[in-house]
Amino acid sequence: MWSKNDIIRETRWSRVYAKPDKPLHQYVESRFMDGTATITLDELQRDWQSWPEGDKIDFCQSLAWAQVPDRIDILRFVIDHGDHCTWLPIALLVAHELPPEESVPALRRWCESCEVGRGANYYQAVAYTGDPEAHDLLKRCLHRTWSTAGLMDDADFCNWVAHDAVSCMQSLLELNEDPDTYRSVFEALKKHPCKATRQETQGFLAKYFASEVGD
């Protein structure tokens, strides 16, 4: 359980908790959850450009819990005036809250314009829409990722290009794409030089290739 004594940082939009004996184990709570943060569309339109990037990201990370009257229009404002730093935290919210005729074009733009290695949130959101376009869009994203330099490089922590490939393929398989189509991709990722990629492949993809597990 977290208490007020565990708060190590508090902003306009969130609180960060940590125990003294486990400082790296942190919990982030949106202040929208208890109503101590609130905002209107007029306030956002007036102040957005003056906020530092960190405040914008903090706001967007907290926005899912914002039960405010202007919630949907606030989301639309961030879509129109944000960038990839602020779109990433709201991608799934966009897919959940907006109709496909709004959410899918925005997600398509983000998928196609983001740096490879930063698209996982977008891929998850595209799959969540269940839109017919999601299949072809994610296939293009996987092709783009698979063609990116550094895909098969080792990394001390995480190869983010390979992480995108795992995430994109997971989203495709969640849409009931035929696993056999991606078996060679799975095999390559399963033997990736980066330990984190191998672990992600096993954890997120192996269940779709059950006949191959235990090789």
| Chain mean pLDDT for the chain | 94
Summarize pLDDT for 70-105 with one digit per residue, the tens: 999 999 999 999 999 999 999 999 999 999 999 999
- Measured distance CA(3)–CA(15) in Å, rounded: 11
Contact 33, 65 (CB under 8 A): yes
pLDDT value, residue 43 = 97
Backbone dihedral angles phi then psi of residue 40, each to the nearest 5 degrees? -115, 165
pLDDT value, residue 214 = 44
Task: With a cut of 80, say whether residue 117 has pLDDT above it.
Answer: yes
Indicate the DSSP class of residue 180. Answer: G
Q: Tell which residue, 104, 18, 33, has the closest CA to residue 63.
A: 33
Task: With a cut of 70, say whether residue 109 has pLDDT above it.
Answer: yes
pLDDT value, residue 211 = 61
The predicted model gives 115-134 an average pLDDT of 97
Summarize pLDDT for 165-215 with one digit per residue, the tens: 999 999 999 999 999 999 999 999 999 999 999 999 999 999 999 864 444
Q: Tell which residue, 200, 209, 206, has the closest CA to residue 181.
A: 209
SS3 152: coil
Confidence of residue 3 (pLDDT cuts 50, 70, 90): confident
- Measured distance CA(19)–CA(5) in Å, rounded: 9
pTM, two decimal places? 0.92
Q: Tell which residue, 119, 105, 201, 129, has the closest CA to residue 168.
A: 119
Summarize pLDDT for 18-46 with one digit per residue, the tens: 988 887 788 899 999 999 999 999 999 99
